[in-house]
Structure 1
Amino acid sequence: MEIDAIAAEHAKRLAAADALLPKPSPLNPEGGTRLTTRDGMALATRSRVEPGTPEALWRPLTEYRLDVRLGGTDPGAAFGSLLTEWDRLLEETEATDWDSAAVVTRPSRDTVGTGELLRRGFAPTRVLAVRPADRLASGPPAVPGVRIRQAEPSELATLVRLQLELRQYDAQFGLVTRREDEERAITDATRGLLADAGAAVPSLWIAELYGKPLGFVHVELPPAADWISGYVAVERAGYLASMHVAEEARSTGVGSALAAHVHQLFDEAGMDAVLLHHALASPRSTPFWYAQGYRPLWTSWYRRPAARG
């Protein structure tokens, strides 16, 4: 098939699968390697972050990514052929340590080629979930004993502790890698958010249970959330960067109260949708967020290390 025909069939299939998916952009071969088969094409890229940088907190140091476009009567077979070509490229690298990953991000409702990924050792690891705006007419319901308020600079240590607890838990699922300097990096980033007094909507919120701070949430509105807006077909998107409730406050309503509060903030700010990332294997995050009205939009399949060896 011609390249334009593959791209057109790929876009048509995605539009039919999910109305919230944006139109696929053309593959730009600059900075990557273009792969083609009879009914498919892809762009293979490599990115690296250095230890000690904020980016290293949330990803492997080296990521090899494949962005695919699939057409023809058997797009699954086309996907398999592209993955085979990509594996040949990866075999020529030194990506055999745990701090490397091969990553394929696919629209969650476009399940073409799922078996091809599983046969090559990939696992669905990370989801970008979406929640269309509710436009609540009234505030969220009150939860006995729970108070949601803006975080204060004096609570830096509490916010850092809660974020470290979240990292320790999420590291079990193969997405977060613990770093020796993570406490310093999180402290610096949190201090910067707390110092941003000019924001129309605060980024950090604390949940108190009977006066004790036991949960937090970090939100991003445009322009801070512009980096994620291209993943969803709406005009204005917000991003729920992270949320955590201490173990002692689980099943008390703190998490639901935090979620309801920030959803009202997003609705009042005119967001058409809210996005968030979560670890698919987490027995806490996945059921909780989908009970709050989210659903999978993009699923990232990981293989660590990147090369099969």
Structure 2
Amino acid sequence: MSGFVARVRHEEPAGGGAEFAALLDSVTRRWKDVDPLLPTPYHPGMSPQPMLTVSDAMDRPVATGSMRYAWYQPGEIGRTWGVPDQHWLTPLVGGPDPEGALDELLTTWRDQLEEAPTGTGAESAALLTWPARDVSGVRPLLRHGMQPYTVLAARRQGRGVPPALPPRDVTIRLAGTDDLAATVGLVMEEHRYEEHFGGVFIQPETAQQARNVLGRALQAEPSWIWLAERRGRPVGMVWASPPHRARWVTPLVAATPAAYIGYAFVTEETRGQGVGTALVNHVHHALDTHGVAVTLLNYAVTNPLSGPFWSRMGYRPLWTTWEVRPALALR
């Protein structure tokens, strides 16, 4: 027997009593111990989604998780970034045995997925995000069949390799409205490469959607999109969002203000020549000059280039998204 009791709450808010305050305090202490860049965890109460709760033998909650379902219809931009049916769990796990509590929480989540009326077919996934340095979660996640999928990495202001100049025949500049075709081409080339790692699914609409979003971004002054050109031909690109355009990342990290790099890519024939390092250094200088405390970005765990490169550039994992496909493959 595990000694844990699991419940599903559909009506009452999870977090109405002192017992949930104690759970939150436990999670807060562990997060601060494992990683000072983790934010203060949110209060689990008043969630509009059904909540799973795991209690110990004394009926004190030691874990809770809100369940969320996202479905992307054909033509929606979300279809580019994952399977159409996504079942998310947002866990908060505390107490003296977080490994055991998470194990019970995942077991209860699996039972709930069994009862889901739709969205658990071949094109579905069960996903959650877990602090990268909180190793207490690794064994239960693996036992339940989940695998690390993407990393959200963080770089504090001033970290990274020393400034480097690009090769002589390469120039770096901010992109403008005349660069729409070039930036769309680079984004689509990156998409085609990322398809190898199972996180990007190019749709018939993807190129036009990229064109629409880039068209708006390039009209801003400055665009925060940098191009590397070799004798006038685009060979690399970084697209950053400064803090006022990256407010969605603020709850994910303790330091502020926070920026986000959404795209960073150099063409295949250009890799290994210092262009990417010079391009990212250029962007880092701009972000540091604007007082950005921390910069975040995502990369696929299975991408053999991203992890080593971003580590050299001063980034380290902050959050890891774990996934299993289809959703009912969760054990």
TM-score range, shorter chain: over 0.9
Partner of 2:187: 163
Contact 1:22–1:233 (CA under 8 A) maintained in structure 2? yes
Runs of 4+ more than 6 Å apart: none
Change (3 A) 1:135 1:244: closer
User: Helix, strand or coil: the match of 1:128?
Assistant: strand
Moved more, 169-178 or 19-28: 169-178
Give the superposition deviation at 1:98: 4.4
- 8 Å Cα contact 1:135/1:268 also seen in 2: no
Whether 1:214 aligns to 2:235 is yes
Helix, strand or coil at the partner of 1:27? coil
Alignment correspondent of 1:54: 77
Asked if 1:245 corresponds to 2:262, the answer is: no
Greater Cα offset, 262-271 or 109-118: 109-118
Distance 1:280 1:115 in 2: 17
Contact 1:95 1:307 (8 Å CA) reproduced: no
1:303 aligns with 2:324: yes
Counterpart of 2:36 (choices 19, 33, 36) is: 19
CA distance in 1, matches of 2:238, 2:138: 33
* Structure 2 counterparts to residues 74-89 of structure 1, below 5 A: 74-89=97-112
| Alignment partners' CA distance in 1, 2:67 and 2:241 | 30
- Give the counterpart letter for 2:38 in structure 1: L
Equivalent pair of 1:135/1:267 in contact (CA under 8 Å): no
Q: Which has the higher contact order (CA 8 A, sep 6+)?
A: 1
2:95 equivalent to 1:72: yes
Partner of 2:215: 191
* Partners of 2:185 and 2:123 in 1: CA distance: 25
Displacement of 1:170 in angstroms is 1.2
8 Å contact 2:166–2:279 — kept in the other structure? no
For residues 84-233 of structure 1, the aligned pairs below 5 Å read 84-93=107-116, 94-134=118-158, 140-144=163-167, 145-196=169-220, 199=221, 201-233=222-254
Residue 110 (structure 1) shift: 0.6
**Which of residues 255, 260, 264 is equivalent to 2:281?**
260
Q: TM-score, normalized by length of structure 1?
A: 0.92
Identity of aligned residues (%): 36
5+ long unaligned stretches in structure 1: none
Deviation at 1:59, TM superposition (A): 3.1
What are the Cα deviations for residues 220-241 of structure 1, in whole angstroms up to 9, with x where unaligned? 0121111111111112011111
| Greater displacement, 182-191 / 139-148 | 139-148
Find the aligned partners of 1:303 and 1:211 in 2 and give their Cα distance.
44
Give the distance between the partners of 1:229 and 1:71, measured in 2 at CA.
23
